[in-house]
């Protein structure tokens, strides 16, 4: 490998590091925070379960008992009930619904240590084709699509946490 090629690679690498670029799979808590606590109005909410599973994948251990941990170094995520909407996209010639747009609204708040609450909201959108002749298969497919949407929502929450400071989400 020539010296000029090596120099070019080193310059590009230093530019990427200087601008704060991180690989997408590299999720960690912001600097200064050691613990993460997830709260929900319902203890077995599907989004809370999905978020806890995704935290395990990213090697972030959620705090279960907040009484034992310092609030100063803890991020608290409070999940509000998710909102699922279905919009009609198309119909068959018989007038039956052929396709829906599923919209999963995810409202939540984040508290970095003893700072103020930060409210956040985003939507995950998917198209879903309905077939009235295959009701059982389509109901199972709908469950899988909703599960995938919650998994994407959990990933988005983690990405936002790992890239945000206490000032904004």
**Each residue of 44-89: pLDDT tens digit?**
899 999 999 998 888 887 887 766 666 777 889 999 999 999 998 8
Higher pLDDT, 19 or 126: 126
**Each residue of 31-47: pLDDT tens digit?**
777 778 899 988 889 99
Q: How far is CA 116 from the centre of its chain?
A: 21
pLDDT at 116 (0 to 100): 82
Structure tokens at 70: 């310092």
Q: What is the mean pLDDT of residues 135-150?
A: 88
Dihedral of CA atoms 67, 73, 74, 75 in degrees, nearest 10, equals: 160
Confidence band (pLDDT; 50, 70, 90) for 168? very low
CA distances from 132 to 23, 65, 135 (A): 43, 47, 6
**pLDDT of 28 higher than 70:** no
Sign for the pseudo-dihedral over CA of 82, 83, 86, 87: negative
Range 64-69, long-range pairs (CB < 8 A, 24+ positions): 66/37, 69/35, 69/37
Which of 74-78, 88-92, 110-114, 165-169 comes out lowest in average pLDDT?
Answer: 165-169
Residue in the structure block whose two tokens are 């705090």? 63
pLDDT at 56 (0 to 100): 87
Which runs of E-coded beta strand occur in 19-157?
35-40, 74-79, 83-91, 97-112, 117-129
Q: How many CA atoms lie within 13 A of 131 on its CB side?
A: 7
pLDDT at 33 (0 to 100): 77
pLDDT at 1 (0 to 100): 62
Percent of the chain with pLDDT over 90: 34
pLDDT at 23 (0 to 100): 57
Alpha-carbon gap, residue 132 to 130, rounded angstroms? 6
Is the CATH number of domain 26-163 3.30.160.150? yes
Please report, for the chain, the start and end positions of each structural domain, with discontinuous segments joined by +. 26-163
Q: How many CA atoms lie within 13 A of 80 on its CB side?
A: 14
> What is this structure's pTM?
0.74
pLDDT at 61 (0 to 100): 78
């Amino acid at each position: 490998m020539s010296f000029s090629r090596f120099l070019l690679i080193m310059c590009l690498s230093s530019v990427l590091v200087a601008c704060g670029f991180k690989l997408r799979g590299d999720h960690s808590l912001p600097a200064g925070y050691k613990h993460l606590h997830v709260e929900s109005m319902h203890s077995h909410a599907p989004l809370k379960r999905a978020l806890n599973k995704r935290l395990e994948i990213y090697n972030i251990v959620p705090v279960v008992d907040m009484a034992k941990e310092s609030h100063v170094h803890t991020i608290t995520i409070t999940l509000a009930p998710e909102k699922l909407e279905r919009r009609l996209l198309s119909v068959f010639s018989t007038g039956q619904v052929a396709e829906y747009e599923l919209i999963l609204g995810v409202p939540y708040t984040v508290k970095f240590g003893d700072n103020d609450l930060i409210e956040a909201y985003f939507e995950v959108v998917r198209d879903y084709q309905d077939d009235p002749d295959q009701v059982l298969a389509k109901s199972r497919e709908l469950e899988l699509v909703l599960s995938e949407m919650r998994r994407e929502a959990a990933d988005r929450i983690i990405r936002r946490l790992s890239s945000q400071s206490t000032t904004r989400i």
